[in-house]
Structure 1
């Protein structure tokens, strides 16, 4: 009995000694009094690209697919299940797409012959269906012109998967000339995969075009605006900038398919519909019905930036198509129109009302400038052809707009020959900001947390423009937004934040993905036609962005930065506006770690707030069923004078906030 008691006491002693020894190894020091550098307001932002149905079918709240019959197959998205086209010996009716112009942007309309009002139906399938919510209102508009006959009413209905009616309205066409009509539907049930059915009273021939449907509940209640829940998720990130419109969308597979901002502004009806480069780009997730209506165009991007408090960062073509596709080049002596597009865009954003493009902005409803500060030249081009073209853009922009900061690219990878060449040549040009991209496995992010420790402090600043940990492999359809990827990104972010003197902007990519229409994984935010949720990666971004602070301060162990010793990663800031010290600690170990933190150089409140983000395992994820399963949990902790004793859970990201007196 005594022997057993002695053994127990001996073992307890060993355990306590082990804890004590471990605590000695994890003594951290924070120097609150000395600011190392300022944290840029743009440190954490968002990058938008129209991939994964992020624009049409996503952020842009239009519910009708191919609303003006301008797709490559002009009837794509529409069906006439009981028309003469499908049933022999019937006289219900038929639709025909008429091309009335090859010069203008809206080339087609739909000419409908109704022979039997009780038999003919026109149905739109929406973007993988239409999400409608019970008792909410939906605003319909269309253009119609009566050609002949007695058609007296056009009936529009929501229908469910069993063709049951879930809401109804109608319009009365009165004119033989093209006329705009509006009506409103109220949903009588909630349905994620609804469709719109159009039927007719009377018979005859009628022309239809620009059939459009938007929820009344859009962001800020704007007519024909953006999907409120998705913008809310962006707003909650408190982003410092919004990079748009891509991504590879900027480049196009060919130069003809590049994004041309001037075609994306003005009257929505006059914006040219174009195929989306991601429609059949990836063999594992082809979407031949993926087009761009440009209802979400450059004006809307600038407006969105303003709405969410972000600095706009447009990226423009540099005269090179995607080098993973054709790599088509504009000859150097034909580059002027591309450069002029960049100069005109700056004028559109910032010009006064007497300028050509400032006047256009005013006519679109925004007399005040958008305060554009950044512009990107090219997406992720590489090689001598890019350098030659960048020089032309740089010279022209700086001569006319010396205060605009130009973002230059270093190619698609964070290392290798293309990257090294780009870095060397761009430094010679004294570029201001280098855009670096990295899609790597989680271990790479943890191993490369010191990436910027030795960057030239007098050289170009860094924009980590696209990054995301890949759980399987880059471009794999099996990548997951799992917890290991998220906390590995958090570890890497502490390294970027510790080097805020060099790293001025960062953004995860891609941003949005429709659960039924994605091409690329992983993604920051997932949505269906009714709901959306932030991934664990989203909450990592939110934790850092919402707590970025104003000044970088040091957090060290034995005088060295915390860069993975004992699987701990850390950065620290203070916020001179909220008078807080903010510590970010990532524990990448499989067990909890007890850490002692000594905060020197400031008088602190005796209580602090802890925000802890953790999953149940490395492969843990959020979902529509458990949207906030991995999300920050808040608690309080006490200080002992200037010291904090804290147990950081296994595989966790923790933010500690302490008020300064």
Structure 2
């Protein structure tokens, strides 16, 4: 049976009786480093159905019939077969971005005699009494058909319905209707049946819930965005990840194809579609309803700096290692320059005008960009130098993030780390997917890094409960505590580490390729893992300056299984102390507080813990491991803290 936090605290205090108190010191007016506003952020990649079927709230799968199987996701039902009554038509020469559409011919169709049904992304999550917006692009050849749209549950029962009567002829038109669902269903379907006689072409068949983030039509799932907003991230890195590189260059991410009218954005296969034989996802594509404009808008919404990552002329080196020839690199470099213009420049410029036409005349204030994702070797450096010169020549103050490869050590890392520092790289992106023990052992990784020169972006990290690329990885308390311990080392070295983000971000319970992940979702619900709460506790308690915190005159980086760091927040006027107990037993700490500013005699400690090291959160128990607050006293300039086993503790004290 799960113990309550109060029981755990009593247990910890009881176990700590008779123990020698471990003594620590915080000198809160001894500033060690400034904490950058970007210190803690989030990294979004369209993996695990993170975009289509995830945060992008579209419910219809393959809405424009552009999957390699044009009717994937759709089922045709007809009482009587008539040759050519439903055709997939390709107009590639006329419209290369969206070539396919469906043509429907009917003669005296009645209820259910001719219909199309869409299964959604592992079903459609619909909510009782919520409105849904249905829309379709149509072109009538012969008027006379009425479209009946229905949401149906797993038994075929209709739980919401509307109807369209297209009347206009000629070029393509768009028509919309709205209707409500009368039930909550985890895996509904959309059924469209035709009534009457006529011929009509259909494209971009779409269904969105009306409770999207900020009520934007065709927008995001509000519950998923809210979890991000609650973290108060300093930045959001997008769109990946390996999808930036592509399996080969033809499937690389090209930002210009993800902006403008939705129907003009060119769908491509998602590289995670067939990446893992143990988790095939043949219906995983990128429609780019979530494109670069929406990424910038999302960053603005949640108060985060945007950090786009662009292809550097190299496909994934694990897949094909295809590279663009040096003399053919100009279009890739121009994409980078044009993106800065799109994000920042005047509406009088070509790409600034495009931004304004999409509804955002004001610049997005882009300050940084990643060149390449997880690339390595001299071929990467050769291309990086070309990008760097072109961007810095035009935008000298613009910051560039450079890859240090896939691992935090080894020959590849050593080569890139040395070479990039010699190039005076702005920011070096380091990645680490390792067992929890690695994170505990590397909490002091940055203590001896150079204090001047290139800064570090801990761009992708997650403790692996089993091993990297294992289906058995779980978001356990053990992993979260190990990450918290490591993050105290990142915070302590904020003059070296300017940015950090866990990865991957989202995973759909029925459509994931990779574990562990920060936030899990199904068609209706979402929850944060223990790792999520660690990230959130650091981010919302970021502070503005790192202050001195020691034990026996040294950094608190694993001695006796204890890890710690401290910051002050000049805005909220708080001293914030973070301590991790990675032991299986309770530990009693006494923290002496030194400084000229008077402190409150009352504080709050937020504790993340559980009595089971393998405890996870779930849809059934989404907050099994979640932060709990308790009041603490400051007496004689000291804080006594009884730390429960395997716990992350955040102490906040007002500075008067």
For the criterion TM > 0.5, the same-fold answer is yes
| In 2: Cα distance, 1:64 partner to 1:616 partner | 43
Q: Is the aligned partner of 1:349 residue 2:343? A: yes
Q: 2:355 — aligned with what?
A: 361
Q: 1:106 — aligned with what?
A: 98
| In 2: Cα distance, 1:146 partner to 1:157 partner | 22
Q: CA deviation at 1:93?
A: 7.9
Q: Is the 8 A contact 2:237 2:309 kept in 1?
A: yes
- In the TM superposition, 1:81-230 aligns within 5 A as 81-82=77-78, 90-91=81-82, 94-102=85-93, 103-115=95-107, 116-118=109-111, 119-148=113-142, 150-151=144-145, 153-177=146-170, 178-230=172-224
Q: 1:423 — aligned with what?
A: 417
**TM-score, structure 1 as length reference:** 0.95
Q: CA deviation at 1:284?
A: 1.0
Q: Is the 8 A contact 1:414 1:438 kept in 2?
A: yes
Please tell me whether Structure 1 or Structure 2 has the larger radius of gyration of its CA atoms: 1
Q: 2:513 — aligned with what?
A: 519
Q: Is the 8 A contact 1:83 1:92 kept in 2?
A: no
**CA RMSD, aligned part only?**
1.5
Q: Is the 8 A contact 1:133 1:190 kept in 2?
A: yes
Q: 2:68 — aligned with what?
A: 72
Q: CA deviation at 1:173?
A: 1.1
Q: 2:255 — aligned with what?
A: 261
Question: Equivalent of 2:643, from 630, 645, 648?
Answer: 648
SS at match of 1:517: coil
Q: 1:472 — aligned with what?
A: 466
Q: Is the aligned partner of 1:624 residue 2:615? A: no
Q: 2:276 — aligned with what?
A: 282
Q: CA deviation at 1:204?
A: 3.0
Q: 1:250 — aligned with what?
A: 244
Q: 1:561 — aligned with what?
A: 555
Between 91-100 and 518-527, report the one with greater CA deviation: 91-100
Q: CA deviation at 1:20?
A: 5.2
| In 1: Cα distance, 2:353 partner to 2:287 partner | 24
| In 2: Cα distance, 1:146 partner to 1:320 partner | 45
Q: Is the 8 A contact 2:588 2:642 kept in 1?
A: yes
1:152-187 CA distances to partner (integer Å, 9 max, x unpaired)? x11000000000001000011112322211000200
1:465-505 CA distances to partner (integer Å, 9 max, x unpaired)? 00000111101111000110000000000011011010000
| In 1: Cα distance, 2:503 partner to 2:19 partner | 41
Gap runs ≥5 in structure 2 = 1-12
Q: Is the 8 A contact 1:410 1:435 kept in 2?
A: yes
Q: 1:314 — aligned with what?
A: 308
| In 2: Cα distance, 1:241 partner to 1:645 partner | 35
Q: 2:630 — aligned with what?
A: 635
Q: Is the 8 A contact 2:98 2:265 kept in 1?
A: yes
SS at match of 2:167: coil
1:382-439 CA distances to partner (integer Å, 9 max, x unpaired)? 0000000000000010000011100000001111111001011111111010000000
| In 1: Cα distance, 2:502 partner to 2:361 partner | 32
Q: CA deviation at 1:92?
A: 10
1:128-156 CA distances to partner (integer Å, 9 max, x unpaired)? 011100000011110122223632x1100
Q: 1:22 — aligned with what?
A: 20
| In 2: Cα distance, 1:364 partner to 1:18 partner | 61
Larger RCO of the pair (alpha carbons < 8 Å, separation 6+) = 2
Q: Is the aligned partner of 1:490 residue 2:484? A: yes
Q: 1:4 — aligned with what?
A: none
| In 2: Cα distance, 1:477 partner to 1:515 partner | 12
Q: CA deviation at 1:255?
A: 0.6
Gap runs ≥5 in structure 1 = 1-14, 85-89
Between 535-544 and 72-81, report the one with greater CA deviation: 72-81
SS at match of 2:77: coil
- CA 1:580–1:283 in structure 2 vs 1: closer, same or farther (change >3 Å)? same
SS at match of 1:64: coil
Q: Is the 8 A contact 1:83 1:121 kept in 2?
A: no
SS at match of 1:35: strand
Instruction: Kindly tell me the number of residue pairs found equivalent between the two proteins.
Output: 639
| In 2: Cα distance, 1:609 partner to 1:524 partner | 26
- CA 1:259–1:17 in structure 2 vs 1: closer, same or farther (change >3 Å)? closer
- CA 1:578–1:83 in structure 2 vs 1: closer, same or farther (change >3 Å)? same
